[in-house]
Structure 1
């Protein structure tokens, strides 16, 4: 007698196992050359669990077991693998946590921690590596947000000031953000940390990865101190670079002969993109900026390639580490 399976549960189970096995295939995961716990290079195969190869350390003081999933971004995620793909795709579409939780049938808390695990992994794997020729530098301002904070809140004076600013259309100045972008490359967007100036932010993050004769452009609305810093930097450019871009230093401003193509207003798009979140805590904002840099980049990424990049190169971040990383020091 043939056992009946009207709901095709066995086929579904087989597909899940086949996908899981393919995900953790040796081509897609980090190859272990040593035990991730003690560093011993002596370990053996130790069977399989859910078709995923496991290993055992032969060091007498360790003897721990590990697998291809150990220390991956997806460690301890108990849900089906296809949900992880879908979640990254939903993040790229900027779907809210409530919508993600409803579509994937997971809790909002789970969706929140998944999002931040992915943010941390993306921040370590996708970032501007180098600026080579002409970089447009801008500043952007936003207000502090204590959303989700347990020990910080707006004071009465803060509330009055925010209400006054909105009433008269004043730009908030609580948090300054640095934006640096070069055509064809991933932009750098970073909040100025507590106790850090916008100039230090630029020196430590943009100049650090800029080529020797990289020209820094700016406009009239850029922060005055940063603008003066850029002026001093550009004065030191080689004569060949100045001639190449037709640079003329007139008083405290620089003119060039670079054709001003109509480009996308990154600040307007960034503001519109962030507005869908209905408030982001300042302590998390750099993660959102970095993720926006990825999806705004001219280089095309798809959620499958991002998933496998994070699987192979991403590192595991526990919930406790997430909490320690985001100490409210702003």
Structure 2
């Protein structure tokens, strides 16, 4: 797996926000979170945070509404420290012990951050030379307590065992010369049309795709993109050893439940393409400006991979 130093400790911007009012002061509210109306007015302050009142539904809201840390009573410094530990891929137990929070709180905080990563609109286009491949993993039921099938409970983690009732999950990944990357988990035997329209839609039509892992689906897409062009390209280890890299990444967290796989893949992409400056930008700006709040009671209700709508 490709590793890089995060450089958090050397960047003073990590301590940019020291209070909640500083954190939310520059957050722009564009519409009412209840009815989406843009007709609203200022409605005083609460704990030094600006409040608003909607002229349409008459509901009140503030700069903190629908943000990542809505309803959290913890200190802003704890949020920043936890985000830093998450981006450094520290374990939940390590973060909980270091920050003196409960393991349950650490779990929900991590998935709030990972959920925010999946909500961000990916606008980067993969162009030039694009390395693409597909690998697969067996389902993981880590943390699941309602598995009724005895066969699934007792099955071993062996991808080659045909008696293993855990189904395979495909992961398509691609990385370009401009260091843009995606990794998307899908159900097995998905239609080629869906792969082209939903997964490889971010790849420029003029790009040259280098296929990996002897996969027929990726080779077919590469043939369509490349036409008669034949270019000798040095292999990218991030794609050449994709399965080993992802397994190493999963191993850091001692296994990942399949229903959370796509969330962690977003963190995997971030850690393999961006430097410390982008990490800090994410922590100080991107997680703040988006309406990325998710209730704790639906965090566990996740599919983890894309299904083909047949």
TM-score bracket, normalised by the shorter chain, equals 0.7 to 0.9
Question: Match for residue 214 of structure 2?
Answer: 222
SS in structure 2 at match of 1:44: strand
Output the aligned Cα RMSD: 3.2
Determine the C-alpha separation between the residues in 1 that align with 2:215 and 2:45.
58
Equivalent pairs counted in the alignment come to: 286
Match of 2:197 in 1: 204
Query: What is the CA deviation profile of residues 98-130 of structure 1, one whole-angstrom value per residue up to 9, with x for unaligned ones?
Result: 111111121111111111111111122264621
1:113 to 101, 108, 113: 108
- For 1:139 and 1:174, the matched residues in 2 are separated by 12
CA contact (8 A) 1:44 1:57 kept: yes
Q: Tell me by how many angstroms 1:217 deviates.
A: 0.8
Determine which of 256, 262, 270 is the counterpart of 1:286: 262
Matching residue of 2:23: 23
- Counterpart selection for 1:176 from 166, 170, 173: 170
Identify if the C-alpha distance between structure 1 residues 285 and 262 changes in structure 2 by more than 3 Å, giving closer, same or farther: closer
SS in 2 for 1:24: helix
For the pair 1:306 / 2:282, whether they are aligned, the reply is: yes
Matched, 1:56 2:53: yes
Deviation at 1:66, TM superposition (A): 0.8
Contact 2:172 2:183 in 1 (8 A): yes
Larger Rg: 1
Structure 1 unaligned regions, length at least 5? 1-14, 167-171, 248-255
298 and 216 in structure 1: CA distance in 2 versus 1, 3 angstrom threshold: same
Q: 3-state SS of the aligned residue for 1:31?
A: coil
Q: Compute the displacement of 1:183 (Å).
A: 2.4
Aligned position for 1:189: 183
Pairing of 1:56-135 with structure 2 (within 5 A): 56-59=53-56, 62-125=57-120, 127=122, 129-135=124-130
For 1:164 and 1:31, the matched residues in 2 are separated by 48
* 1:275 counterpart = 2:269: no
Q: 1:57 to 1:158 in 2, by over 3 A?
A: closer
After superposition, the C-alpha distances for 1:44-66 in whole angstroms (9 at most, x for unaligned) are 3222222111122344xx32211
CA contact (8 A) 2:133 2:173 kept: yes
**CA deviation after TM superposition for structure 1 residue 207, in Å:** 2.8
